[in-house]
């Protein structure tokens, strides 16, 4: 079943007009012991499990710790 794979890859490469920013392919999460592959479009160095929250807020507004 390698033919399908080859075809898919070939077609994908050809049909992509101009990808956005691409990063190195085949990268893996930078967290120790984690081998999760990262997307070429993922500009972070960690997988979705290990990367720090940055682009979205988990739930509503988060309080900064007022009581210390
Ligand atoms: Zn990870």
- Structural domain range at position 43: 15-49
CA 64 to chain centroid: 28
Could you tell me which of 19, 56, 58, 53 has the C-alpha nearest to residue 39? 19
In this predicted structure, what is the pLDDT of residue 51? Answer: 82
In the chain, the N- to C-terminal Cα span, in Å, equals 60
23: in domain:
yes
41: in domain:
yes
- Measured in angstroms, how far is the CA atom of residue 19 from the centroid of ligand 1? 24
> How many domains is the chain partitioned into structurally?
1
In this predicted structure, what is the pLDDT of residue 31? Answer: 93
In this predicted structure, what is the pLDDT of residue 22? Answer: 74
Could you tell me which of 43, 41, 45 has the C-alpha nearest to residue 28? 45
31: in domain:
yes
43: in domain:
yes
Tens digit of pLDDT per residue, the chain (68 long)? 666 666 666 655 556 566 567 777 788 999 999 999 988 887 888 998 898 775 555 666 666 777 66
Residues 26 and 42 sit within 8 Å (Cβ to Cβ): no
Neighbouring residues of the ion ligand 1, judged by CB less than 5 Å: 29, 31, 34, 36, 47, 49-50
In this predicted structure, what is the pLDDT of residue 10? Answer: 60
pTM over 0.85: no
Rounded Cα distance between 31 and 50, Å, is: 7
């Amino acid at each position: 079943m390698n033919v399908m794979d080859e075809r898919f890859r070939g077609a994908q490469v050809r049909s992509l007009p101009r990808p956005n920013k691409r990063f190195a392919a085949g990268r893996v999460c930078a967290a120790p012991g984690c081998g999760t592959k990262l997307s070429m479009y993922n500009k972070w160095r960690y997988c979705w499990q290990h990367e720090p929250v940055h682009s979205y807020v988990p739930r509503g507004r988060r309080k900064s710790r007022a009581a210390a």
